[in-house]
Amino acid sequence: MREHRLRKLFWRRFKKNKLAILGGTLVFFMFIVALFAPWISPYKYDDINVDNILEKPSWQHPLGTDDLGRDVLSRMIYGARISLAVGFVAVGISTLIGIILGALSGYYGGWMEIGLMRFVDIMLCIPTFFLILAVIAFIGPSIWNIMIVIGLTSWMGVARLVRAEFLSLKEREFVQAARCIGAGDLRIIFRHILPNALAPVFVSVVLGIAGAILVESSLSFLGIGIQPPIPSWGNILTAGKENLEIAWWLSVFPGLGILITVLSYYLLGEGIRDAIDPRLKM
């Protein structure tokens, strides 16, 4: 009953935030586009047509064509799949690592907390993007390598959030009651404390997806991310950079796609945060 009331309260607060509703709608739209890309896309992403090289936007090709005559709209639709996959998988990896390390350090404290938090501090001191660049350059670019590396280098924020929640929750009455009836540490951590510590993690997950999409696009733009002919908004931008003076659409439309997608996730994340705890709103 209490959970039902909390959900109603959350939704009542969330729907008052028009920007968050807009962000959520755009995120849902992009998810549908990515999911049904083979049916929505007017052409295959790798269809080469030398007769239509660098064709301007038209009824036949609404977003124009690239330097190999491929339809930009089709490549952007398939590129949304790549962005979504990288975002969800990378954030899934980072969230799992962050939850485990944050829960252990917050619950047990002592030397475990000191050791894990110093490791977090060390990781935070390393410029993440340059670390990703170095690792990808060493192991080679592929979609799975990119997803795993982004996930393994972006868990620190989740770990600190979970640790802070565990430090607050582990002294509550319901945890003490669980100890009194003989519940073990793992049961207390994962059954009693963790479900009550996940609210700020949801916000971090949404914002993390936006960050992962931005990192993947940057890597692809630099040529060490998703490799052609697989489409990515970043490598479409690379073709745009090489033909900027004669094919403006290759830079404008992928750039807008990245901007709108990242902005939508940030609006949604901020709306969820404000709905969960309005006191955090600045």
Q: Which two tokens stand for residue 101?
A: 């390390």
CA 184/CA 129 separation, integer angstroms:
40
Convert the pLDDT of each residue in 84-105 to its tens digit.
888 899 999 999 999 999 999 9
Percent of the chain with pLDDT over 90: 20
CA 87/CA 61 separation, integer angstroms:
28
Number of domains in the chain: 1
Q: Please name every residue paired with 85 in a beta bridge, in sequence order, or none if there are none.
A: none
Convert the pLDDT of each residue in 71-87 to its tens digit.
999 999 998 888 888 88
CA 37/CA 26 separation, integer angstroms:
16
Q: Name the amino acid, one letter, at 39.
A: W
Among the ranges given (117-126, 132-141, 149-158), the one the predictor scored with the smallest mean pLDDT:
132-141
Task: State which residues form the domain around 113.
Answer: 2-280
Taking CA atoms, 62 is separated from 32, 71, 76, 185, 263, in Å, by: 20, 8, 12, 58, 23
3-class DSSP string for the chain: CHHHHHHHHHHHHHHCCHHHHHHHHHHHHHHHHHHCHHHHCCCCCCCCCHHHCCCCCCCCCCCCECCCCCEHHHHHHHHHHHHHHHHHHHHHHHHHHHHHHHHHHHHHCHHHHHHHHHHHHHHHHCCHHHHHHHHHHHHCCCHHHHHHHHHHCCCHHHHHHHHHHHHHHCCCHHHHHHHHCCCCHHHHHHHHHHHHHCHHHHHHHHHHHHHHHHHHHHHHHHCCCCCCCCCCHHHHHHHHHHCCCCCCHHHHHHHHHHHHHHHHHHHHHHHHHHHHCHHHCC
Convert the pLDDT of each residue in 17-73 to its tens digit.
888 899 999 999 999 998 898 899 988 888 888 888 888 898 998 998 888 889 999
* pTM for this entry: 0.86
Domain with 77 in it: what CATH number?
Answer: 1.10.3720.10
